[in-house]
Structure 1
Amino acid sequence: MCATPTVEKSAPELVQPAGPTPGGTLPLSSIDKTAAVRVPVVLVQVFPRAASDVGGGQQDAAVAAMRDGFARALVPYYPVAGRIADVSPGDGEPVVDCTGQGVWFVEAAASCTLADVNYLERPLLIPKKDLLPKEELEDLIIMAQVTKFTCGGLAVGICFSHMVFDGQGAAQFLKAAGEMARGLPAPSVAPVWDRDAIPGPPRPPKLPRGGPPPPCTAFSFVTQAADISPESLARIKDAFRAATGQACSTFDAATAVLFKCRALAAGLPDGAEVRLAFAACTRRLLRGVLPSVDGYYGNCVYLAVAARTSRAIREAPLEEVIRLTRAAKEAVAARFADWMRGGGAMEDHYSVALDYGTVTVSDWSRVGFSEVDYGFGEPGYVFSLNDHVRVVPSAIYLRPPAPKRGVRLMLRCVEEPHAAAFADELAKFA
């Protein structure tokens, strides 16, 4: 075990496109500009066996290839090398200015092995700021930091603008950077911009970048992690099939556990409304709207919401909570089509009450962050670092570190008075 680990960073480098790229400005879509996506997203990819021969030269070569992969990927993905700007300063209507300035890339070296810091499992034994290029994204679209560990392992910290990418879109770009780092002549999936093809009914509110709309309460959420085992997921699925004659997904089962456990632990009054909100992918619903759905890397999400009283969720069997989740998913197609036709105000479709009664869910287990290969294999573990989100309880679903299976929940769902009870309820499904 090493002494208190330290991380030394090189000066930030702007990695520019490896070839000429177009200039000018590009519009964002009406979905990109919703208040729900005006926050940066932060994640870390852990590569325990990136360079099993501890020699620094091997690590340095891997990092150099990765940097080159980013530069080459920025040619077809040239908007990502630009900056987010306003059409007119202060009018709140963002666009992407294709300046070609590049993306931030930072190289860092830790004084320890990944084992010394428990492979970056929570609670983190290295400060968050040491794993990321800087604290604020500002007008940048993506930043990366690669941290070398003395065991030969690497950690890649990524911060990206949710106004330009959704999770699947960001993973698509990172996969392209990995493919180019491995020597492919072009990305296997050609990028598609076409944001202006998505209609804009109704006009989104003009809000400053960098935060949610006021007013809202800032909570002191406790960061927690919990695993739902494959055995628990199988039991829940079997019970649902026995009760309904239907199959349910892993997402349905995990979400029912989360929603019920939080209702049991959160201490809300019987009659208080509790809400489950999750981002449903709408790529399939945009076929025929976008010239090509394949390769589109903008936001393709719609907010699905389910609500009941606190008492109803506490007392409901999991099968009933699963039905509630499935009903919210099944309503997405009709509600999204209504929004596309201009039905209802923006806040009727892309917002949810920002209070302690709401929990928001994002499923990262299948968007592609775990399949990125920069030339040293796929990550053993990917986790979120969105500790800056303080206005709404949130949960992100991840793949647990190998060889574990099941679903890992990365949680900022409750404040300290409810954290122990929440952990105890979730532990019943570990």
Structure 2
Amino acid sequence: MAAPSSTLVFKVHRREPELVRPAKPTPYEVKLLSDIDDQQGLRFHIPVVQFYKHAPSIRGKDDPVAVIRRALSETLVPYYPFAGRLREGPNRKLMVECTAEGVLFVEADADVRLTEFGDQLQPPFACMKELLFDVPGSNAVLHSPLLLIQVTRLKCGSFIFALRLSHCMSDAPGLVQFMSAIGEIARGSHAPSIPPVWERYFLSTRSPPRVTHTHREYGQQATIDENNTLTTMPHNFDSMAQISFFFGCSQLSALRRHAPPHLRQSYSRFEILASCLWKCRTVSLRPDPKETMRMICLVSMRGKFSDPPLPIGYYGNTFAFAVAEAPAGELCRNPLGYALDLVRKAKGEVTEEYMKSVADLMALTGRPDFLKTRWTYLVSDVTRAGFETVDFGWGSPVYGGPVPGLANFCIPCKNKEGEDGIVLAISLPTQAMERFVKELESMLKSPPNETKTFTHVMSAL
């Protein structure tokens, strides 16, 4: 069920980082980000890693570095904002100056074979610093490249594609749209099958702005106070251990048995996993029973806008941070259905009007960060984003997805037997991780006798 972090040690030879610019002249202009894009919680760079097997029957002796570099340059013509730089205006408003300066690209070779990474590729990857070189000065939000890409050839002919993106520019589906466009051009297309659409005004503040919902994701204060500010709790993180867990059909079925019988099949895989892990995490941390525990899940609104509908090809951020809250004691004592109801209710609150209210809140309050405390669990479902389908000409990756950090990601994955499932990396203090593993194993193995199971848990708090 759990896999330790890789201890693989290998050498990587890198060439000097270069800037890859659009293959043709592109417009010089300044483009505003949306008021969802430029909130404080997205002002960071998010890493992604994709592993590809050697496929001589498909590409012969083609060099993946050369193929991807060329395709990247051509893709940056329609996606020219990625070759620009972020600037900040009044009220912390972010915009892209489309300068065509380019994105950072690193060519590398590693003295290791793909098989040496293990028979089941899944995070955490202890070697990420080797696979995605942190070019000095490249990770600032403003005035820095918006993308850093490293392609690493392996001894066996396989290769690894790693990327770091300024999250203000795109969410996971938007990034996959861009990566897939590189793949299409690498495979011989002259243009992306889905033309990119910028139109960030779709998710910008209204005139006048109206905060119509409670937004617990940005702090204890639900709305704007008399000083036009938002109160948030201080950050409080311990040093973390990280372990990944694979959930196939049998594991998901076992967890689903803990849901109320008449609703078991109505819950999504994500709702089952998120609720279960939120509960297990709470048990493992042993908070005061009266402590408020929060779970923040990212809810995408792609395909759900109607006034007006979001255009196909839009690659900006389209999600909200939905918050479920409960006292620690109640979360541990009650059946899993208690957590499931809270998670489903939180997700259901994210509507078109809710998203517009978030955009208005950002503009009115200086674009605050979302709530981060030791009692907050942040999880994102990227099982439908499409990372596992990105093909640069060597077929689909054997593993692909974002690298876990502050957020835990539900990522589609195959185990070593070839079974499809979801892998999710959990970060916890070491002792809490030991308790988490035991609690999760108990839920996977025991019958759903919730009263017996969680009475014992409550006594340990």
Whether TM exceeds 0.5 here: the answer is yes
Q: Deviations over 1:173-223 (max 9, x none)?
A: 000011011111211111000112323155999xxxxxxx99523432222
What SS class does the counterpart of residue 61 from structure 2 fall into?
A: helix
Q: Which residue of 2 aligns with 1:70?
A: 72
Distance 2:419 2:265 in 1: 27
Give CA-to-partner distance per residue, 1:51-92, whole Å, 9 cap, x none. 458x9x8252x221111111111111110111112237xx73
Shift of 1:281: 0.6
Partner Cα distance (1:39, 1:383) in 2: 17
What is the SS of the residue equivalent to 1:185? coil
Q: Structure 1 residues 350, 328: CA separation in 2 closer, same or farther (over 3 Å shift)?
A: farther
Q: 1:186 aligns with which of 185, 191, 194?
A: 191
Distance 1:66 1:112 in 2: 21
Distance in structure 2 (CA, Å) of the matches to 1:344 and 1:33: 8
**8 Å contact kept, 2:36–2:359:** no
Aligned twin of 1:319:
337
Stretch deviating more after TM superposition (183-192 or 327-336): 327-336
Residues 158 and 299 (structure 1 numbering): CA distance in 2 closer, same or farther, change over 3 Å?
Answer: same
Contact 1:16–1:74, Cα closer than 8 Å, also in 2: yes
Q: Which residue of 2 aligns with 1:299?
A: 317
Contact 1:241 1:247 in 2 (8 A): no
Change (3 A) 1:44 1:302: same
Partner of 2:253: 234
Instruction: Assess, with a 3 A threshold, how the Cα gap between structure 1 residues 203 and 27 changes in structure 2: closer, same or farther.
Output: farther
- Residue 224 (structure 1) shift: 1.8
1:269 aligns with 2:283: no
> What is the percent sequence identity of the aligned residues?
29
Equivalent position of 2:203 in the other structure: 198
Task: Return the letter of the residue paired with 1:318.
Answer: L
Deviation at 1:107, TM superposition (A): 1.1
Distance 2:74 2:12 in 1: 28
- TM-score, normalising length from structure 1? 0.86
Cα 1:406–1:315 shift into 2, 3 Å: farther
Query: How far apart are the structure 2 equivalents of 1:303 and 1:80?
Result: 25
Structure-2 separation of matches of 1:190 and 1:369: 19
d(CA) in 2 for partners of 1:371, 1:225: 22
Aligned counterpart for 2:268 among listed residues 249, 267, 280: 249
CA displacement 1:394-415 (0-9 Å, x = unmatched): 3111122351322111222x22
SS for the counterpart of 1:409 is strand
Q: Say if 1:303 and 1:186 are closer, same or farther in 2 by CA, change over 3 A.
A: same
Aligned residue number for residue 399 of structure 2 = 381
Q: 1:269 to 1:331 in 2, by over 3 A?
A: same
CA distance in 2, matches of 1:140, 1:154: 23
Q: TM-score, normalised by structure 2?
A: 0.81
Q: Give the match for residue 405 of structure 1.
A: 420
Provide the alpha-carbon RMSD of the alignment. 3.0
Alignment equivalent of 1:421, drawn from 420, 430, 435: 435
Residues 1:82 and 2:57 aligned together: no
CA-to-partner distance for each residue in 1:111-170, whole Å, 9 max, x for gaps?
A: 111222326645545x32211132542222111101111112111111001101011111
Match among 323, 328, 333 for residue 346 of structure 2: 328
Asked if the contact 2:39–2:362 (Cα under 8 Å) also holds between the matched residues in 1, the reply is no
Contact residue 398 and residue 410 of structure 1 kept, 8 A: no
Is 1:36 equivalent to 2:41 in the alignment?
Answer: yes
Please give the alpha-carbon distance, in whole angstroms, between the structure 1 residues aligned to 2:393 and 2:304.
34
**Secondary structure at the residue paired with 1:400?**
strand
AA matched with 1:399: P
Partner residue in 2 for 1:209: none
Whole-angstrom CA distance in 1 between matches of 2:155 and 2:128: 19
What CA distance in whole angstroms lies between the structure 1 residues aligned with 2:376 and 2:106?
36
Query: CA 1:59–1:33 in structure 2 vs 1: closer, same or farther (change >3 Å)?
Result: same
Task: Tell me, in whole angstroms, the C-alpha distance in 1 between the residues paired with 2:303 and 2:16.
Answer: 42
In structure 1, what is the equivalent of residue 54 of structure 2?
A: 50
Alpha-carbon distance, 1:358 to partner? 0.7
Residues 151, 25 of structure 1: alpha-carbon distance in 2 compared, 3 angstrom cutoff? same
Paired residue secondary structure (2:160): strand
Equivalent pair of 1:16/1:100 in contact (CA under 8 Å) = yes
Is 1:167–2:172 an aligned residue pair? yes
Paired residue total: 408
Q: How far is 1:365 from its partner?
A: 1.6
Equivalent pair of 1:30/1:203 in contact (CA under 8 Å)? no
Once the two structures are TM-superposed, the CA of residue 326 in structure 1 deviates from its matched residue by 1.0
Shift of 1:363: 1.1
CA distance in 2, matches of 1:108, 1:317: 51
- Distance, in Å, in 1 between the alignment partners of 2:173 and 2:96 is 19
TM superposition shift of 1:329: 1.1
**Of the candidates 344, 358, 376, which is equivalent to residue 358 of structure 1?**
376
> Partners of 1:255 and 1:223 in 2: how far apart?
17
CA distance in 1, matches of 2:191, 2:255: 44
Tell whether the 8 Å contact from 1:46 to 1:155 is kept in structure 2 after alignment.
yes
Q: Give 1:171 shift.
A: 0.8
Q: Secondary structure at the match of 1:31?
A: coil
Give the corresponding residue for 1:93.
93
Secondary structure of the residue that 2:266 maps to in structure 1? coil
State the SS of the aligned residue for 1:320. Answer: helix
Alpha-carbon offset, residue 244 of structure 1 = 3.0
Q: 1:263 to 1:349 in 2, by over 3 A?
A: farther
SS of match in other structure, 1:406? strand
Question: Matched residue of 2:343: which SS?
Answer: helix
